[in-house]
Amino acid sequence: MIEHELSGRHLINGEWKSSPQDGAFSAINPATGAALMPVFLEAGQTEVDAAMKAARDAFEAAQDLPTGWQAGLLDAIADAVMDLGESLLNRAQEESGLPPPRLIGERARTVGQLKMFAQVVREGSWVDAVIDTADPERKPAPKPDIRRMLRPRGPVVVFGASNFPLAFGTIGGDSTSALAAGNPVVVKGHPSHPGTSELVAAAILSAMKSCNVPLGLFALLQGKSHQLSQMLVNHPAAEAVGFTGSQRAGRALFDLAAKRPKPIPVFAEMGSLNPIVILPAAASERGDAIAEGLAGSVLLGGGQFCTKPGVILTIGDDTKFVSKFAETIQKTASVTMLNPGLRDNFATCTTNFAKVPGVKTRIEPKSGTAAAMSPGLFETDAKTWQKEHRLHEEAFGPGALVIHCKDVDEAIACLKSVEGSLTGSIHIGKGEDAKTTQRVLRAMEPNVGRVVINGFPTGVEVNNAIVHGGPYPATTDPGTTSVGSAAIRRFVRLVAYQDTPQQLLPPALRDDNPLHIERTVNGKRTTAAI
Amino acid sequence: MIEHELSGRHLINGEWKSSPQDGAFSAINPATGAALMPVFLEAGQTEVDAAMKAARDAFEAAQDLPTGWQAGLLDAIADAVMDLGESLLNRAQEESGLPPPRLIGERARTVGQLKMFAQVVREGSWVDAVIDTADPERKPAPKPDIRRMLRPRGPVVVFGASNFPLAFGTIGGDSTSALAAGNPVVVKGHPSHPGTSELVAAAILSAMKSCNVPLGLFALLQGKSHQLSQMLVNHPAAEAVGFTGSQRAGRALFDLAAKRPKPIPVFAEMGSLNPIVILPAAASERGDAIAEGLAGSVLLGGGQFCTKPGVILTIGDDTKFVSKFAETIQKTASVTMLNPGLRDNFATCTTNFAKVPGVKTRIEPKSGTAAAMSPGLFETDAKTWQKEHRLHEEAFGPGALVIHCKDVDEAIACLKSVEGSLTGSIHIGKGEDAKTTQRVLRAMEPNVGRVVINGFPTGVEVNNAIVHGGPYPATTDPGTTSVGSAAIRRFVRLVAYQDTPQQLLPPALRDDNPLHIERTVNGKRTTAAI
C-alpha cells in the first residue's frame, strides 16, 4: 500500500514543494458544496521554472538509461496507482461526485492504458525504424546509408481534464503516451480534483524511485489561474502540450503556443457535438431499443463525456421514437455534475437553446443543490438548426437536442454543416436503401474521427485501432488521437542518421537489431538483422 | 511531346483563366537582368474562390474513383513532365539561371518522386490500416470491431520554392505527396519562375485529362503579392498548407493559419544553419579532402540549398584546414543567384556578419551584374558566435561562417545553442576519442532532423528513410518530413470505423483485404484476410 497524506503542495523534481499562499484553493464536494481539506497552493513562475528545468535535465539524463526504460516505469506507476487503494477512490469520489463503480472502472482503464503503453514500449516497433542501406556503386553518385526513427520531443506539458479525474488526469492518456515516448511530463492538475492529482503524483513518485529514473521526469503543479497555464505553455523548455477540456480553454492555449518565438504543438481535445442519425427503417424496426440505448449514452457520466451524442437527427415520422427517448430520459431525476461551474455552463447553454424561435423544450433541465442538474431534452427542425449558431454549442451535461429532418436530404445537409466531431453515429435498419446509407456516411465521415454504426459513441475502447480525435473544433490536429496506442505519435519527432557508425546509432537502428523489433529495411518489413 | 504556348494565365478547374491586369508581372532572367515574355497575371479573390471551390468539389467527386486512382495520375504527370522536353529545361534555365545539367538532374528527381509516390500508393500499405476485431463475449461489455486508416484531409495549398523550380515547385515534393494521399492541390507558383510553373501545370492538365479524373484536383495560381498568399491560407476550404522558403514568409503563413476560425497546419520548411563539426583527428587525418568536399557542399547550387552547411565548427589548431577550405572557395569566381532579391539578401546578411566585432572577413563576397555574387567566407570564435544573434542568421547563398572553437567543450556549447536545423554533420577521424564523439552527437541530435557522419548534407536522398525536417525554425513541425515517402503523412487524418458493415468500409479495411495490403490485425502485421 502507498500511504500519502495530502499536503497541498507541488511535486517538483521528486520533492513536495511549497509556494506562496496567494491564490490557495480548496476542492469542493459537488454533491454537498462543502470545501474539502487540505488547502492547495497555487504554483507561480518559480515553480514552473523549477519543474521545467528539472524536466529538461531529466530528458538529457534519460539518454543514459537503458533502451525501453519507459516500460518499467509505466508498469511501476500502474502498480503504484493500484497500491493507493481505497484512499484514491474515496478522494476521487469526494472531489468529482462520480459513483464508486464508475471510478473503479476508470481506474482499471487508467492502469490498463499504462500497461498497454508499457507493452508498446517493450515490443519496441513503435519507433517506426526505417533503414535504406548504402550502395557505394550507384551512379552518378554513391547511395548513402540512411536510417530513421521516432525520438521523444522533450518536456511535455499536460492539462488534466475534469471529467475523467483518473483516465484523462494526472496519469491519463496524455501523460502516459508522452512518458511512453520518453518525454518528461509536467502536469497542471485540474483544480476540481487536486487531492486526486496529488495522490496519483505520490504514486508516480514512488514508481520513479523504485525504477531509479531521474525524478525530474514527472512534476505536478497545482493551480486555478490562467496565468499558471500561460507560464507553462510559454516556457522555453516546453516542446509540446496535451490538453483535454473546453473549446475556449483549448483554443486559448493553442493560440498562445502558436505565438511563441518557437511555436509548439497543442494537442487539444475539446468540445464535440457527436451527431447521431437514426435512419427511418432503423427507427421502425427497433426504435424502442435505440431510444433506450441512446438515452443511456446521453446520460452516461452525467452527460459529461466528450463523446456524448449531443445532436440527434431523426428522419420523417419520429413521434414514437422521440416519445420513447423522452420517456427514458425523464426517468433520470437528477445527476451530480463534476463541479458547479460545469453545471452553470450547462444551464446557460440550454437556456439559450430554449430561447431560439423554433426550438421546443421537451424536458426542461433544472438546477438542484450544489452541482445537481436534472436532464434536458430539446427539439427543433433542420432549417432552424442550420441557421442558428447558438444551437451548435456543445451542451456539456445531461441533455441533448433532437433535430427533426423531413427527409434524408435534410439530414445530409445538417451533417455537412456540423462542426468537426470526435464521433458520428448512424443507426441503419435492414430495410434501409443501401445507396442512401452510403450517402449519409459520406456526408458524415469528413467531419468526424470515428464512425459508429448501430451503436453509441460513449465508452471508448483503448486499443491499437481506436481514434479519439477529429477535425477542429473536436481537436486541434485531426492527424492524431488522444486515446489508444497511436496517441504516442503526438509526442515524437523524426530523426535520420546518415552513414553513421554502428556504435553511434541508437540500438533500434543497428545492423544486428539487438531489440528484435520489426523494421522496414530497403522497403521490406522484417525483424531480421542486416 | 506536350506543346504549350505560355499564356500568363491561371489554371483553374482545367481551364486557363484570365484575371485583371493589376499587378501583372514578368519573370526576370537572373543572368542578364532582362524581363522574359509573356506577362503573367496576378490572381485575386475571384481566382482563389474558383480554384478552392473546384478543389472542394473534386475532393468529393474523387470518392467515386477506384481506390488508388492517385497512382495512375502521378505516373501520368511524370510522363507528361518529361514530354515537355527541352521547352521546360530552357524556360527553367532562363528563369532560374541554373545550368542545364543541374536542371536535368532536378527533373529526374521530380519525376522520380512522382513515380516513387505512385508506387507507394499502388502498394497501398501507406494507409496504415489497423484492425481490432470484435469480441461479443467480453465482460463486462462486449468488445466492438474497430478499424482505422489514414484518409486525405482535403484541399492543400502549396507554395513553390524558388531554389528548386522543379523538385520543390509546382509538382515538387509537397504537391506530389499531397496528391498521393488523395488531396486536391492548389499551387501558388513562385514568381521567380512563372513560365516553368505554367509549363508544369500544362503537363498536369494533360495527365488529369488522360486519367479522366476531376480537373479541380489541381490548380495553379500565379502572383507576386502577399495578399494572394493570405487569401489562399485564409480560404475556408483549405485544409493544410505546404511551404518551402524563407523563415519570415513561412512564419507569416503559419501565424495566419493559426489565427483562422478553424486553424489549419502549415508544414513550412524554412531556413537552416546546418552546423558541421570537424573533429581534430578528422582534420589532421584528411583535412584537405574534407575542406574540398565542404567547399563543394557550401557552393552547390550557388549556396542556395536548404541543407547548405552554413556554420562550420573547427576545434583547436585549424590553420591548415581553414586555409585549404578558403583556397577552394576562392577558386569559384562568381555564381548567378536565383533572383536579384536573394542576391541582395545575401549581401545584406554577410555585410552584417562583417560588422560584428570579433568577425574576420576571410573572403569578401561581391555583387556582380544582374543576380551575380562571388562567394564569401567569414571567421569568428565560439564566444562571439554564441552572444551575437546576427551571426545566427542564415546567409542563403554562396558563403559560410567558420567558428574556431578552442576545444570540444566550446563546440558542444555552440551546438547546444544552434537553432533547429534540417541537418547536422560531424567529421570523425580514426584517432578520435569515442566518448567525445558520442558527446558531440548528443549535443547536436536534439536540434537537427538528420545527422550526417563523415559526409556533407547537400544532395538529399529521396527514399523511405530520409528525413528532411527538423526542429523550429528549420520547419514548423519536427514530427514530419517534406522529402521521401513519409512526407505523405502530413496530409492525412485518422478515421476509425466502429462495427461498420463490410460494404460501407473502405476497401483497405474490409475482411477479405481486396487490396492485398499489409495491415495490423489484432496486433499482428499481416496481409491475410480476416
Q: What is the pLDDT of residues B426-477, one digit of tens each?
A: 999 999 999 999 999 999 999 999 999 999 999 899 999 999 999 999 999 9
pLDDT band, residue B140 (cuts 50/70/90): confident
Does B306 participate in catalysis according to the annotation?
yes
Q: Do A525 and B525 touch (CB under 8 A)?
A: yes
Cα Rg, chain B, nearest whole Å: 25
Q: Do B525 and A523 touch (CB under 8 A)?
A: no
| pLDDT tens track for B291-324 | 999 999 999 999 999 999 999 999 999 999 999 9
Does B211 participate in catalysis according to the annotation?
no
Closest A-chain CA to B426: A500
At A529, which amino acid appears?
Answer: A
- So what's the pLDDT on residue B402? 98
Cα→Cα distances B479→A31, A322, A488, B268, B450, Å: 44, 47, 12, 12, 12
B80 pLDDT above the threshold of 90: yes
- CB-based contact B258:A255 (threshold 8 Å): yes
Rounded Cα gap, residues A210 and A204, in angstroms: 10
- The enclosing H or E element of A201 equals helix A194-211
Rounded Cα gap, residues A334 and B340, in angstroms: 72
Helix (H, G, I), strand (E, B) or coil at A336: strand
A342 pLDDT above the threshold of 90: yes
- So what's the pLDDT on residue B271? 84
From chain B, the residues in CB contact with A473 under 8 A are: 262
Domains present along chain B, CATH in parentheses: 10-25+42-270+481-490 (3.40.605.10), 275-453 (3.40.309.10)
Enumerate the β-bridge partners of residue B159.
Answer: B188, B243
Q: Do A479 and B461 touch (CB under 8 A)?
A: no
A292 pLDDT above the threshold of 90: yes
Q: Which residue has the cell 513550412?
A: B268
- So what's the pLDDT on residue A313? 98
Q: Do A442 and B63 touch (CB under 8 A)?
A: yes
B282 phi, psi to nearest 5 deg: -60, -45
Rounded Cα gap, residues A484 and B216, in angstroms: 36
Name the grid cell of A302: 452525467
Closest B-chain CA to A457: B498
Chain A nearest-CA distance from B295, in A, is 18
From chain B, the residues in CB contact with A449 under 8 A are: 493-496
Selection from A239, A218, A238, A119 nearest residue A493 by Cα: A239
Burial B331-359 (b: 16+ CB within 10 A, else e): ebebbbbbbbebbebbbebbeebeebeeb
Rounded Cα gap, residues B360 and B326, in angstroms: 13
Rounded Cα gap, residues B130 and B147, in angstroms: 6
Rounded Cα gap, residues B274 and B459, in angstroms: 13
> What is the residue-wise DSSP string for B171-202?
TSHHHHHHHHTT--EEEE--TT-HHHHHHHHH
| pLDDT tens track for A380-422 | 999 999 999 999 999 999 999 999 999 999 999 999 999 999 9
Rounded Cα gap, residues A218 and A2, in angstroms: 18
- So what's the pLDDT on residue A371? 93
Hey, CA dihedral for A347, A348, A349, A352, is it positive or negative? Answer: positive
- CB-based contact B113:B233 (threshold 8 Å): no
- CB-based contact A219:A54 (threshold 8 Å): yes
- CB-based contact B84:B73 (threshold 8 Å): no
B221 pLDDT above the threshold of 90: yes
Choose the mutation target among B476, B481, B495, B525 for the interface with A, i.e. most A CBs under 10 Å: B495
pLDDT band, residue B333 (cuts 50/70/90): confident
A28 pLDDT above the threshold of 90: yes
- CB-based contact A384:A333 (threshold 8 Å): no
Enumerate the β-bridge partners of residue B498.
Answer: A452, B146
Closest B-chain CA to A425: B498
- Percent of chain A with pLDDT strictly greater than 70: 100
3-class DSSP string for B279-309: CHHHHHHHHHHHHHHHHHHHHHHHHCCCCCC
Closest A-chain CA to B492: A479
CB pairs < 8 Å spanning A and B: 191
Choose the mutation target among B444, B451, B490 for the interface with A, i.e. most A CBs under 10 Å: B451
- So what's the pLDDT on residue B346? 96
Closest A-chain CA to B144: A461
From chain A, the residues in CB contact with B489 under 8 A are: 479
**Residues in CB range of A248: below 8 A, 6 or more apart:** none
From chain A, the residues in CB contact with B525 under 8 A are: 518, 525
Cα→Cα distances A440→B47, B296, B502, B523, Å: 31, 59, 16, 31
- CB-based contact A199:A84 (threshold 8 Å): yes
Rounded Cα gap, residues A334 and A342, in angstroms: 15
Start-to-end CA span in chain B (Å): 47
Choose the mutation target among A57, A115, A133, A148 for the interface with B, i.e. most B CBs under 10 Å: A148
Rounded Cα gap, residues A518 and B160, in angstroms: 36
User: Where do runs of H (alpha helix) occur along B15-85?
Assistant: 45-61, 69-83
Name the grid cell of A147: 536510417
How confident is the model over B248-272, as a mean pLDDT?
97
Chain B nearest-CA distance from A141, in A, is 10
- So what's the pLDDT on residue B301? 92
Enumerate the β-bridge partners of residue B268.
Answer: B243
Catalytic residue among B47, B94, B269, B379: B269
- So what's the pLDDT on residue A153? 98
Closest A-chain CA to B526: A525
Q: Do B486 and A494 touch (CB under 8 A)?
A: yes
Rounded Cα gap, residues A475 and B262, in angstroms: 10
- CB-based contact B457:B276 (threshold 8 Å): yes
Chain A nearest-CA distance from B483, in A, is 12
Say which DSSP state A509 is in: G
pLDDT band, residue B263 (cuts 50/70/90): very high
At A90, which amino acid appears?
Answer: N
Rounded Cα gap, residues B70 and A2, in angstroms: 57
Say which DSSP state A16 is in: E
Q: Do B467 and A148 touch (CB under 8 A)?
A: yes
Rounded Cα gap, residues B238 and B54, in angstroms: 12
Q: Which of B63, B146, B492 sits opposite A479 (nearest CB)?
A: B492
From chain B, the residues in CB contact with A504 under 8 A are: 437-438, 441, 453
B365 pLDDT above the threshold of 90: yes
- Percent of chain B with pLDDT strictly greater than 70: 100
Q: Do A464 and B258 touch (CB under 8 A)?
A: no
Chain A nearest-CA distance from B194, in A, is 30
- CB-based contact A150:A177 (threshold 8 Å): no
Q: Which of A465, A471, A477 sits opposite B496 (nearest CB)?
A: A465
Cα Rg, chain A, nearest whole Å: 25
Chain B nearest-CA distance from A411, in A, is 18
The Cβ of residue A407 has, within 10 Å, a number of other Cβ atoms equal to 12
Q: Which of A263, A441, A486 sits opposite B504 (nearest CB)?
A: A441
- So what's the pLDDT on residue B182? 98
Q: Do A472 and B497 touch (CB under 8 A)?
A: no
- So what's the pLDDT on residue A333? 83
Q: What is the pTM of this model?
A: 0.97
From chain A, the residues in CB contact with B492 under 8 A are: 479
Q: Which of B147, B452, B477 sits opposite A465 (nearest CB)?
A: B147
The Cβ of residue B164 has, within 10 Å, a number of other Cβ atoms equal to 24
- CB-based contact B311:B418 (threshold 8 Å): yes
Q: Which residue has the cell 528513410?
A: B465
A182 pLDDT above the threshold of 90: yes
User: Where do runs of H (alpha helix) occur along B124-183?
Assistant: 173-180
Q: Which of A148, A494, A501 sits opposite B478 (nearest CB)?
A: A494
Chain B nearest-CA distance from A490, in A, is 8
pLDDT band, residue A271 (cuts 50/70/90): confident
How confident is the model over B412-418, as a mean pLDDT?
96
Average pLDDT of every residue of chain A: 97
Chain B nearest-CA distance from A403, in A, is 24
Name the grid cell of B92: 527553367
How confident is the model over A169-174, as a mean pLDDT?
98
- The enclosing H or E element of A115 equals helix A100-123
The Cβ of residue A338 has, within 10 Å, a number of other Cβ atoms equal to 27
Catalytic residue among B42, B47, B94, B306: B306
| pLDDT tens track for A46-83 | 999 999 999 999 999 999 999 999 999 999 999 999 99
**Residues in CB range of B202: below 8 A, 6 or more apart:** B2, B4, B11, B84
Helix (H, G, I), strand (E, B) or coil at B312: strand
**Residues in CB range of B361: below 8 A, 6 or more apart:** B353, B354, B376, B377, B378
pLDDT band, residue A140 (cuts 50/70/90): confident
Closest B-chain CA to A419: B262
Rounded Cα gap, residues B340 and B319, in angstroms: 35
Q: Do B504 and A450 touch (CB under 8 A)?
A: no
B25 pLDDT above the threshold of 90: yes
Selection from B397, B268, B401, B269 nearest residue B345 by Cα: B397
- So what's the pLDDT on residue A460? 92
Start-to-end CA span in chain A (Å): 47
Rounded Cα gap, residues B301 and B398, in angstroms: 9
Chain B nearest-CA distance from A452, in A, is 5
Selection from B245, B274, B269 nearest residue B419 by Cα: B274
Q: B146-152 and B492-498: which strand pairing?
A: antiparallel
Average pLDDT of every residue of chain B: 97
Name the grid cell of B53: 471551390
Rounded Cα gap, residues B74 and B3, in angstroms: 20
Helix A226-234 vs helix A247-259: crossing angle, to nearest 10: 40
From chain B, the residues in CB contact with A56 under 8 A are: none
- CB-based contact B35:B45 (threshold 8 Å): no
A507 phi, psi to nearest 5 deg: -50, -35
From chain A, the residues in CB contact with B124 under 8 A are: none
- The enclosing H or E element of B27 equals strand B25-28
How confident is the model over B498-513, as a mean pLDDT?
98
